[in-house]
Amino acid sequence: MMKKEIGGYLELEEPAGQEYYPDLCGVNLGRTALLWLMEARRCKKIYLPFFLCDSVTGACERYGAEIGFYHMDEGLHPILEERTLSEGEYLYLVNYYGQLTDDKILKYKKTYGNIIVDHTHAFFQKPLPGVDTLYSCRKFLGVSDGAYLSTDAELEPEKKPLDHSMGRMEHILGRYEYDAGTFYQKMLDNAANYHEMEIRRMSRLTGNLLRTM
């Protein structure tokens, strides 16, 4: 429990608002949310689309799962044999432009069984019960990190350390008070450090900022 100090100067205020996904598991990054999920699910093999951010493939390689790649049709839907996946096998579905409606997600769930839905580009599309779903906050909101994980897998968050975001906020604050271009390299420098970041719970600072949005 953090000690509450008195005097000297005032800290950042804590708003009375609520995060958009208060009931989901808050994680430090989208890629570490995937790592955590793969750990919890004991993932052995994962099927990824060829059209994909390297942060996802990097997380899968880091975990050590076998990776299979699949092509997509012009509607960005997987071209795959329709079958129920074996235990430890997962199909990774990316909702690039909102093409994965809830009905389509449920259809994939029924067909393949083990699916993971990536809503990085569809932050406000809510997760479906029984469907493992990932979100990344910094693609939509003014924070330097933060992600959400919706799953019924046993995660044991108390065993993961808390993240701290103070040192990654310069480009966010700089863009607010000055401009984006001046701090663009700082943003890239921060992102370069995300590749090997360990699984952590969402920082208090990021959670606090998300309650204002």
Beta bridge partners of 189: none
pLDDT of 106 above 70:
yes
**Per CATH, the architecture of 25-210 is what?**
3-Layer(aba) Sandwich (3.40)
Rg for the chain, CA atoms, rounded: 18
pLDDT at 2: 64
Q: What is the pLDDT of residues 154-166, one digit of tens each?
A: 999 999 999 999 9
Q: What is the pLDDT of residues 111-159, one digit of tens each?
A: 999 999 999 999 999 999 999 999 999 999 999 999 999 999 999 999 9
Banded pLDDT at 1 (limits 50, 70, 90) = low
pLDDT at 3: 73
Strands 132-136 and 147-150: antiparallel
| Sequence letter at residue 115 | I
Q: How far apart are CA 79 and CA 87, in angstroms?
A: 21
Q: What is the pLDDT of residues 59-98, one digit of tens each?
A: 999 999 999 999 999 989 899 989 999 999 999 999 999 9
Q: How far apart are CA 93 and CA 48, in angstroms?
A: 7
pLDDT at 149: 98
Q: What is the pLDDT of residues 3-55, one digit of tens each?
A: 778 888 988 999 889 999 999 999 999 999 999 999 999 999 999 999 998 89
Mean pLDDT over 162-172 rounds to 97
